[in-house]
């Protein structure tokens, strides 16, 4: 078995050579300079390779590993592992293609801010499972678990590409110790609806008058927040008795700019428009809203910052006749949740001037969409029919993520079974 080479001392000293007092050996010209122990081996092409270490045991273990990988055909030159992570991350980003240009910018922002910024200067061979664990812990201090889970998948894909390119032997994100602390991409759905119909009635009253009907767009039509902000009265054929709403746009952000875009998952070639039935009472409520707050024409870029500008009459706008921004609206929503006793503030700063609330991600505006789905199922709508107005291609996803137990559901089940027994009697 090959042994590490001692750089600091002569392997074949001459008689009479003076020994060093520290090690009791004859010093070489390299004595005391650099790392003492040199692991030397030949790669699969027969070329000699080497790496220096401070300690004999470290050099011996490395040499054993290198010889083992040469024998079993998994050898990767250590110098390849000197590639900085940021170089591989940038190459991985350049290789990504998306139908939606905003998606690339979202990926680029996450990789730049949360992978390249904290880890980019590390060499690939320096990234160990413990490095990934520490990175996860620190990200969770500033981001929610779902977002960290998404960024983790990016990091794992980057390192998987490094493995495929023979830059490192294995992906540190795929080790058992990392998998045990890997953040979830999504949390399990709660058994009960995050907000009941009665709670949303109370919350509606706490919102400014011009925004109260946004609640009905969510719980009555299953709209997402951005779709509510992009809702236009022109999306409804008011002349028909059986009215439907065509959900064809949302308002979202692209690199700090508000833009119009197709509904979630939509692209230029496949916009993902969908139609949702509009109940007569709900249509009357929207008419009342428009009489009090007439729709306003708003002009924004389409799909991305710098895109073609589009003008749309919007049902909901700010007092300044501008498109709604989710950051502003979410503050109003949390204040309403606090007012009805669902959440509490964590300090006494005024609303709009730095007030913060306890964690309430599951009770934000998207919870109205969950309420819409759960109420529909409770009233007998089958999941295949429900998936269409929600814009889900997979009904199983609808059932798994959007359906919860609603108020009175247990009693309804009891009455249904009892009715069967009474009919039999």
- Class (C level, CATH) for 197-402: mainly alpha
Residue tagged 């919102």 (tokens):
207
* CB neighbour class for 353 (10 Å; exposed up to 12, middle 13-18, buried from 19): exposed
> How do residues 390-401 score in pLDDT, each as one tens digit?
999 999 989 888
Q: What is the Cβ-side half-sphere exposure of residue 77, based on CA atoms within 13 angstroms?
A: 14
Determine what percent of the chain falls in helix, strand and coil, rounding each to the nearest 5.
Answer: 45, 15, 40
Q: What is the Cβ-side half-sphere exposure of residue 46, based on CA atoms within 13 angstroms?
A: 0
* DSSP for residue 170: S
- Residue 422: its pLDDT value, please? 63
CATH architecture assigned to 83-179: Orthogonal Bundle (1.10)
Q: Please work out, in degrees rounded to the nearest 5, the angle formed at the alpha carbon of residue 371 by the alpha carbons of 323 and 288.
A: 50
Give the model's confidence band at 284: pLDDT under 50 very low, under 70 low, under 90 confident, else very high.
Answer: very high
pTM across the whole model: 0.78
> How do residues 151-203 score in pLDDT, each as one tens digit?
999 999 999 999 998 888 899 999 999 999 999 877 667 788 999 999 999 99
Q: Is 252 helix (H, G, I), strand (E, B) or coil?
A: strand
Rg (CA), the chain: 31
Residue 6 has pLDDT above 80, yes or no: yes
Over range 43-51, report the average pLDDT.
86
Separation between Cα atoms, residue 194 and residue 367, nearest integer Å: 6
- Residue 415: its pLDDT value, please? 67
Q: Dig out the tokens for 164 from the structure.
A: 């495929």
Q: Is 402 helix (H, G, I), strand (E, B) or coil?
A: helix
Cα 331 vs. chain centroid, distance in angstroms? 22
* DSSP for residue 350: P
Q: Which of 305-319, 369-383, 386-400 has the highest mean pLDDT?
A: 305-319
Mean pLDDT of the chain: 91
Q: What is the Cβ-side half-sphere exposure of residue 51, based on CA atoms within 13 angstroms?
A: 19
Q: CATH 1.10.150.130 in the chain, residues?
A: 83-179
DSSP run (H or E) holding 311: strand 309-314
Over range 400-423, report the average pLDDT.
68
Residue 425 has pLDDT above 60, yes or no: no
Over range 375-379, report the average pLDDT.
89
Q: Dig out the tokens for 355 from the structure.
A: 């007030």
From the CB of residue 39, how many other CB atoms can be counted at a distance below 10 Å?
25
> How do residues 90-136 score in pLDDT, each as one tens digit?
999 999 998 888 999 999 999 999 999 999 999 999 999 999 999 99
Q: CATH 1.10.443.10 in the chain, residues?
A: 197-402
* DSSP for residue 197: H
């Amino acid at each position: 078995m090959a042994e590490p080479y001692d750089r600091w001392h002569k392997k074949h000293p001459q008689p009479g050579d003076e020994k060093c007092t520290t090690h009791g050996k004859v010093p070489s010209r390299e004595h005391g300079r650099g790392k003492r122990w040199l692991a030397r081996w030949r790669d699969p092409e027969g070329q000699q390779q080497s790496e220096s270490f401070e300690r004999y045991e470290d050099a011996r273990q490395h040499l054993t590993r290198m010889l083992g990988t040469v024998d079993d055909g998994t050898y990767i030159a250590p110098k390849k592992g000197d590639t900085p992570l940021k170089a591989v991350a940038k190459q991985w980003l350049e290789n990504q293609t998306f139908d939606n240009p905003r998606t690339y910018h979202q990926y680029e922002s996450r990789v730049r801010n949360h992978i390249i910024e904290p880890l980019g200067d590390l060499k690939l061979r320096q990234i160990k499972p413990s490095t990934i664990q520490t990175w996860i812990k620190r990200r969770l201090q500033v981001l929610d678990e779902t977002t960290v889970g998404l960024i983790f998948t990016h990091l794992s894909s980057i390192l998987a590409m490094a493995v495929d390119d023979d830059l490192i032997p294995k992906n540190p994100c795929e080790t058992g110790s990392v998998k045990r602390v890997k953040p979830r991409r999504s949390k399990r759905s709660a058994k009960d609806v995050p907000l009941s119909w009665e709670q949303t009635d109370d919350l509606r009253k706490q919102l400014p008058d011009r925004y109260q009907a946004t609640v009905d767009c969510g719980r009555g039509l299953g709209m997402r927040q951005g779709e509510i902000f992009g809702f236009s009265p022109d999306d409804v054929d008011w002349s028909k008795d059986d009215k439907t709403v065509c959900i064809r746009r949302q308002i979202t952000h692209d690199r700090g700019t508000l833009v119009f875009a197709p509904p979630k998952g939509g692209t230029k070639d496949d916009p993902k428009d969908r139609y949702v039935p509009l109940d007569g009472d709900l249509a009357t409520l929207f008419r009342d809203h428009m009489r009090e707050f007439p729709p306003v024409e708003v002009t924004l870029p389409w799909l991305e910052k710098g895109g073609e500008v589009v003008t749309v009459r919007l049902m909901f706008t700010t007092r300044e006749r501008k498109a709604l921004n989710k950051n502003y609206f979410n503050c109003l929503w949390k204040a309403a949740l606090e007012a009805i006793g669902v959440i509490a503030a964590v300090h006494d700063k005024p609303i709009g001037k730095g007030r913060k609330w306890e964690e309430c991600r599951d009770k934000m505006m998207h919870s109205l969409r969950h309420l819409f789905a759960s109420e529909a199922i409770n009233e007998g709508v089958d999941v295949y029919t429900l998936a269409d107005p929600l814009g889900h291609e997979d009904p199983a996803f609808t059932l798994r993520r959007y359906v919860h137990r609603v108020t009175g559901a247990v009693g309804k089940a009891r009455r249904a079974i009892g009715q069967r027994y009474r009919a039999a009697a």
